[in-house]
Amino acid sequence: MEGAVVARAQAYDAERELPFAVLGELVKQLATQRAIGSADPEALSELTRISSEILKAFPGVPKPVEWSPELMPLRIADALFKTVTAAAADSPVMLVVDDIHAADNASTAILHSVARKLGDTRVLLVLTGRTSELRLSSAPWAFASDQAITTLRTLELGILPGEATEELVRRLTRTMGKSDPPVERIAQVCGGNPLAIELITREWANHGSASLLHDLEAL
């Protein structure tokens, strides 16, 4: 999204039990870009509970009011909604969560709550996940399958075909100032997985003949 503020968080299985791990990363990136300075100070104050980056970017933010533990998630959800919609008044906002199936329940529940309220705001929430693992998760699956969110759209993606793989590899290497990438070798190792294609291509571009590509081919 050209001209948009983009915050992206990667969820990991190892951090699934850490409350607000994903949400904290999104808020950190928004604060680092100073994209949320127009938000209500009280809302920013609530978000300091999950990201200290707020205070670094906006030193004048007041200390959050103490609430009972039961109310904390509701307060944080309300603060996030107010913050991203205030930011969207200046520029479109895109929040991306990769591998939502591995996200902690606290972050997922709050993002779910916010998504229900976004309506026609200039906020785009993009979630990626593996369907097989989503169905085994609780909060992420409830979010991804919530038909009450009328703007929710699901896009099922398969592996990249050969031509698309070649195009992606060549595009990545061009942006890195490299030429003649080993397209067929990368395609064979990655099996059409877009993330693997990107990672292996970048690794090859950085290390050339010393890259991990040869080792992966030997597996």
76 and 171 fall within a common domain: no
In a domain, 188, yes or no: yes
Q: Number of structural domains, the chain?
A: 2
Q: What are the distances in angstroms from CA 133 to CA 10, 23, 101, 141?
A: 16, 20, 6, 9
166 and 136 fall within a common domain: no
Is pLDDT of 163 > 80?
Answer: yes
How many angstroms separate the CA atoms of 65 and 24, rounded? Answer: 19
Helix (H) or strand (E) holding 7: strand 5-10
In a domain, 156, yes or no: no
In a domain, 97, yes or no: yes
How many angstroms separate the CA atoms of 208 and 204, rounded? Answer: 5
State the pLDDT confidence band at 209, using cuts at 50, 70 and 90: confident
174 and 134 fall within a common domain: no
Predicted TM-score of the model (pTM):
0.80
In a domain, 49, yes or no: yes
Domain boundary (83, 113, 144) is at 144
40 and 140 fall within a common domain: yes
In a domain, 207, yes or no: yes
How many angstroms separate the CA atoms of 161 and 157, rounded? Answer: 11
Domain boundary (144, 171, 206) is at 144
**Residue among 39, 51, 49 nearest 123 (CA):** 39
Residue for token pair 């292996």: 200
90 and 30 fall within a common domain: yes
Residue type, 166: E
167 and 111 fall within a common domain: no
Q: In which domain, by residue range, is 110 found?
A: 5-144
Q: What is the pLDDT of residues 173-189, one digit of tens each?
A: 999 999 899 999 999 99
28 and 107 fall within a common domain: yes
Residue for token pair 């990136």: 29
167 and 139 fall within a common domain: no
How many angstroms separate the CA atoms of 112 and 73, rounded? Answer: 12
Q: What is the pLDDT of residues 22-65, one digit of tens each?
A: 999 999 999 999 999 999 999 999 999 999 999 999 999 999 98
16 and 112 fall within a common domain: yes
Q: What is the pLDDT of residues 100-158, one digit of tens each?
A: 999 999 999 999 999 999 988 999 999 999 888 998 898 999 999 999 999 999 998 88
In a domain, 152, yes or no: no
In a domain, 187, yes or no: yes
pLDDT of residue 158: 86
**Which residues share a beta bridge with 126?**
96
38 and 128 fall within a common domain: yes
124 and 172 fall within a common domain: no
Q: What is the pLDDT of residues 58-114, one digit of tens each?
A: 999 999 988 888 899 999 999 999 999 999 999 999 999 999 999 999 999 999 999
In a domain, 103, yes or no: yes
State the pLDDT confidence band at 2, using cuts at 50, 70 and 90: low
133 and 166 fall within a common domain: no
Domain boundary (96, 113, 144) is at 144
How many angstroms separate the CA atoms of 98 and 96, rounded? Answer: 6
